Amino acid sequence: MEIKFIKRSFLQRLLGISATPKPGSESCWKYSEGKVEVDLEKTPELKSPGGAVRLEGKNLPKRVLLVHGEDGEYRAFHNRCTHMGHRRLDPVPGTDTVQCCSINKSTYEASGKKIFGPTPHPITRYPVEMANGKLVVSI
């Protein structure tokens, strides 16, 4: 499998600047009792395959990367590279992989398994269900 890399400057990688935005509307999601509920109608970033948002704050115990995969499936990951520094992850355009935003470019397949880089462990993938037009992620 050919590994693709997200194009970033050296400075962006050095500082670990994520390419994935937070949702434009913070009201599009909520967290309660181990579940993140995302209203897709209020989250245009996830309408098309390849789209993604990072969810942080609002008493969420772990950062979450939510991706609308190139294959049309929705995936949720613990948004933390397992390599030192614990940087955020970003989806790689045109693939169903995610990649660390730092210099080492650790890359993971859709299952969370490492396919490139120095990271010693896979990333955590959370179960995602569709319920009443909303995505529900179990953390």
Tokens of 59: 């008493």
Q: What is the pLDDT of residue 138?
A: 98
Q: What is the pLDDT of residue 1?
A: 67
SS (H, E, C) the chain: CCCCCCCCCHHHHHHCCCCCCCCCCHHHEEEECCEEEEEHHHCHHHCCCCCEEEECCCCCCCCEEEEECCCCCEEEEECCCCCCCCCCEEECCCCCCEEECCCCCCEECCCCCEEECCCCCCCCEECEEEECCEEEEEC
What pLDDT, in 10s, does the model give residues 26-58? 999 999 999 999 999 999 999 999 999 999 999
What pLDDT, in 10s, does the model give residues 68-90? 999 999 999 999 998 876 799 99
Q: What is the pLDDT of residue 21?
A: 95
How many CB atoms neighbour CB 51 within 10 A?
A: 17
| pLDDT, mean over the chain | 93
> All domains of the chain, ordered by start, with CATH?
10-138 (2.102.10.10)
Q: Could you give the CA distance from residue 69 to residue 5 in angstroms, rounded to a whole number?
A: 16
* Rounded mean pLDDT, 104-130: 94
Q: What is the pLDDT of residue 89?
A: 95
Contact 81, 70 (CB under 8 A): no
Residue 17, pLDDT > 90, answer no
Q: Which residue has the higher pLDDT, 40 or 104?
A: 40
The percentage of residues in the chain with a pLDDT greater than 90, rounded to a whole number, is: 77
Q: What is the pLDDT of residue 121?
A: 92
**pTM to 2 decimal places:** 0.93
Q: What radius of gyration do the chain's Cα atoms show?
A: 14
